[in-house]
Amino acid sequence: MSGSRLPVRIGLPIGVGALLLAAWWIASAADAFPVGTVPSPEAVGRGFVAEARAGRLLTDVIASLYRVGFGYVGACVVAIPLGLLLGRSRLARTALLPWINFFRTLSPIAWIPFAIIWFGIGDPPAIFILFLATFFQLALATAGAAAGVPRVYYRVAEDLGLGKAEILFQVTLPAIMPQLLVALRVAIGVAWMVVVAAEMIAVRSGLGFLIIDARNGLRMDLVVVGMITIGAIGVALDAVFARLARSPAVRWGYER
């Protein structure tokens, strides 16, 4: 980043944030909304400090990251190999793609009743919902990327005597890595959004539970605390995957 652009890159977001904060303060002071439904920035700040000092906010953050991590990693472990199979096998695509597209269009929230019946209460139903939120789109993205690798690379690899495992790790995965990282970046964002709904069922911890519990107690300041925390962590997770996508080791794919 050049020195001349640095003030703009920093100043513009800060300026927009200041405008949003001013609009929030005006809305909280106006009579246009029912009393107590738009907490002031000061009230949210006090709620944030109280939750942090009590340790509840950190506990909820850890619980949410734990569930998202398990659901997301589980989806990656299953969806990426399946996507590679779909990308390389026309028969597998013919048989499975219509059904993957069918289930992809179903909202993960629709599975909540089954999740509770099948897994009871606790972490498993929330993890299951998060798994479904990311599995199908990861499988389709991996399949599309694998199918787009030029066939000439596979023919050259076969002529060189590479086995199937070598072709997978030395040809396919390096070739699709830029597209795969984009899919992983989108998927972690979706999983982090769905965690709110997933934690509204059968659990008593996490940022989603914080929001629903605060709403039931008419603590709208704590609802906003949960929303701000979710947004901040979501931005951080997105920044990590954006940084990985810019890595020279994976940026160029088969064009290297």
In a shared domain, residues 122 and 239: yes
Q: What is the pTM of this model?
A: 0.83
Contacts of 161 (CB under 8 A, 6+ apart): none
- Predicted pLDDT of residue 195: 85
- Residue 217 sits in a domain whose CATH number is 1.10.3720.10
Q: Are residues 25 and 146 in the same domain?
A: no
Q: What does the alpha-carbon distance between residue 138 and residue 82 come to, in Å, rounded to a whole number?
A: 9
Of 28-37, 53-62, 89-98, the poorest mean pLDDT is in 28-37
Local structure of 250: helix, strand or coil: coil
State how far the Cα of 182 lies from the Cα of 136, in Å rounded to an integer. Answer: 15
For the stretch 12-21, what's the b/e string if a residue is b when 16 or more beta carbons lie within 10 angstroms of its beta carbon? Answer: eeeeeeeeee
Residues 16 and 81 in one domain: no
More confident residue, 31 or 68: 68
Task: Give 142's pLDDT tier (boundaries 50, 70, 90).
Answer: very high
Tell me if 182 sits within 8 A of 246, measured CB to CB.
no
Domain that holds residue 124: 39-255
Same domain, 150 and 104: yes
Same domain, 133 and 189: yes
Residues 70 and 192 in one domain: yes
The total domain count for the chain is 2
Asked which of 161-170, 179-188, 229-238 is least confident by mean pLDDT, the reply is: 161-170
Q: Alpha helices, DSSP H only, in 199-253?
A: 207-216, 220-245
Q: Are residues 7 and 62 in the same domain?
A: no
